[in-house]
Structure 1
Amino acid sequence: MRGPRETIGMNLATRQSLLLMSKRSCKSSQRKHLRRRATEILNRRIERLKEEMKEVSKEQESIRKGQREVKDKLEMVELECVQLRRETDFITQQSLNTQLRLSLMFQILKAREVNNFTQAAALTQILREVIAKQSKEE
């Protein structure tokens, strides 16, 4: 490029074309700088997003692990619930059996009180059969 004194002797058209070329090269370098700046900003955003995605992945894995633990605990609670139902049913059945035996014994005592030994013998036989049947079931 020429210095300021050399441009004085040039005609107006030449000076304007030099000025235009100077502006263009300035705009071109400015564009390059802006493009480079935009690329840097974009790259920083991409890096930030990648780090955020890593954090989200870690959180999701933690959530999955927690869900697995909750699922395992829930299954254990359900198994305990089933076991408790079985035990409750067994206790209820035992209670009914005991109630039946007591009822038969009470009827036997009443029959003996009124000297009805035939009925007492029949009830005693029934009581023996009920006890034998309950023993086989257990």
Structure 2
Amino acid sequence: MAKKHLKVRAEAKRLKAEMGKVREDQLYLRVEQTKLITRFVETERQYNELQQEAELIAKQSAMTGIKLSLMLGILKAREGGDLVQAADLTRFLGEIVSLEKAKAILADAQG
């Protein structure tokens, strides 16, 4: 009977050690999971930031293209002697530039 009791005690001790190892592994996994979640959240934040920057660059590029087209139109109108069209295009270009400056001032005031 004592031999059986020793086997049971040894088995209990082994199981207790395994349970301790399982707890350590679970703790390690929780820590690693928290690190991964933190990295994922940071990566997602950076992605959103880059996406906003890309959209801003695309808008700026489109606006630059419009302004260049207007400038080319002004030059062609002047070369062709159409001063009325050149004045209209110049006025429109000036309105666009003024609008951009107003938006920039508003953005600076808000941010």
| Matching of residues 73-84 of structure 1 within 5 Å | 73-84=39-50
The C-alpha deviation readout for 1:33-92, integer Å capped at 9, x for no partner, is xx2211110110010000000011001100110010111111111111111111111111
Once the two structures are superposed, what CA deviation does each residue of 1:3-49 show, in whole Å capped at 9, x if it has no partner?
Answer: xxxxxxxxxxxxxxxxxxxxxxxxxxxxxxxx221111011001000
Q: C-alpha distance in 2, partners of 1:36/1:135?
A: 93
**What CA distance in whole angstroms lies between the structure 1 residues aligned with 2:30 and 2:101?**
50
Task: Describe the superposition over 1:110-129 as per-residue Cα deviations: whole angstroms up to 9, x where unpaired.
Answer: 11111000000000000000
Instruction: Output the TM-score relative to the length of structure 2.
Output: 0.90
Q: Structure 1 stretches of 5 or more lacking a match?
A: 1-34
Q: Partner of 2:87 in structure 1?
A: 121
Moved over 6 A (4+): none
Q: Distance in 2 between matches of 1:104 and 1:79?
A: 38
Per the TM alignment, residue 136 of structure 1 is displaced from its structure 2 partner at its CA by: 1.6
Alignment partner of 2:38: what SS? Answer: helix
Q: Which of the residues 37, 47, 70 maps onto 1:71?
A: 37
For structure 2, the 5+ residue unaligned runs are 105-111
Alignment of 1:2-17 (within 5 A): none
Aligned-residue Cα RMSD (Å) equals: 0.8
> Does 2:70 match 1:104?
yes
Q: Hey, what's the Cα distance between the residues in 2 that align with 1:52 and 1:72?
A: 30
Alpha-carbon offset, residue 137 of structure 1: 1.8
